[in-house]
Amino acid sequence: MNSLILVSLILSVLLGIFRGIDLTFWTDAETGLCVVGPVWLRYAALAAVVGIAVAAGRSSQPKPDALRGRCIPSGVAALAAAVCYGETAVLRILWMHSSVVMLLRAVLEALCAFWMLGLGLSWLRKDWKAPTRSLTPAVLGSVIFYWCVLARFMENSSSWHRVAPTAMVWQLLAGLVFLSALARALYLPGTSDGRTLCAGALASFALCLCWEMPSVVQMLAENGSAALLTPELLFRLGLCCVGVLGGLCAVRCCRAGQGA
């Protein structure tokens, strides 16, 4: 595997550790404001790790066709994401209080769950085949990330000093780029851009998994098992699963590229 990609994965894990320490000791739990150190240090660390991830992906020689085959870890990660987004959709419907906007979001999350379910089952099959007959479910299944990016801009009225809402936009964009490139690699292999796929996958690993996991752990620590019945936590867990999937896909592509 490309040494720069290995460095990117290690730095992403270190970023997650730094984020966990930051949330525990240097960030106010109620307001989300940094109480120790400049907020720009957080953005600088996040930007540096993501920048290295993108550079590593763009400088690699990945083989996207390696994803068109059986892989149990990838299949399990995709199925876990399907469960998270499916439960999120159900809970959001129960909690929407006649809100049309929330109903629409729940539908998009259900479509994402359907796409992840097909993706996971296809990777668990011994005789791999495309998750669905057409590309449409993959496209519709990724719309939720685009929706949430727009919602973040409309709903977030906080300042730059609250890092989490701003970083969430980056996370959603990384997930959107990765899943879009993944769908193209699986359904239209002749037109797939492996470097974009690898860059998006590594960025998703850094942002959706390593950066997000400490926040999930914090929510569980504060609210206990009751947090598992909230759409917010389940959506974040789904985001973490997408990050795991990104790391696995990047490694698979790059190993195949080295072996070619």
d(CA 78, CA 2): 25
Q: Mean pLDDT over residues 241-260, rounded? A: 84
Q: 3-state class of 252 per DSSP?
A: helix
Report whether pLDDT(236) > 90: yes
Please tell me the pTM assigned to this model.
0.92
Q: What are phi and psi of 99, to 5 degrees?
A: -85, 120
* pLDDT tens digit sequence for 31-46: 788 888 888 999 999 9
d(CA 252, CA 69): 10
pLDDT tier at 260, thresholds 50, 70, 90: very low
Predicted confidence (pLDDT) per residue in 76-87, tens digit:
999 999 999 999
Quote the pLDDT of residue 256: 63
Taking all residues of the chain, what is their mean pLDDT, rounded to a whole number?
A: 89
Total domains present in the chain: 1
Could you tell me what percentage of the chain is helix, strand and coil, using 3-state DSSP and rounding each to the nearest 5? 80, 0, 20
Beta-bridge mates of residue 162: 33
CA max distance for the chain: 55
Whether the Cβ atoms of residue 246 and residue 178 lie closer than 8 Å to each other = yes
pLDDT digits (tens, 9 = 90+) for 166-186: 899 999 999 999 999 999 999
Q: What is the pLDDT of residue 163?
A: 87
The answer to whether 196 and 181 have CB atoms below 8 angstroms apart is yes
Question: What is the separation, in whole angstroms, between the first and last Cα of the chain?
Answer: 12
Write phi, then psi, for 17 (nearest 5 degrees).
Answer: -65, -45
Per the structure, the complete domain to which residue 131 belongs is given by 3-259
| Residue partners of 175: CB distance under 8 A and separation at least 6 | 145, 204, 207, 208, 239, 242, 243
Name which residue leads in pLDDT, 60 or 250: 250
Residue-wise pLDDT for 150-170, tens only, equals 887 776 555 677 888 889 999
Stretch 93-121: mean pLDDT: 89
Residue 55: what pLDDT? 95
197 phi-psi bin (left φ>0, alpha ψ -120 to 50, beta other):
alpha
- Ramachandran bin of 37, using left for φ above 0, alpha for ψ from -120 to 50, beta for the remaining angles: left
What is the mean pLDDT of the segment spanning 214-237? Answer: 89
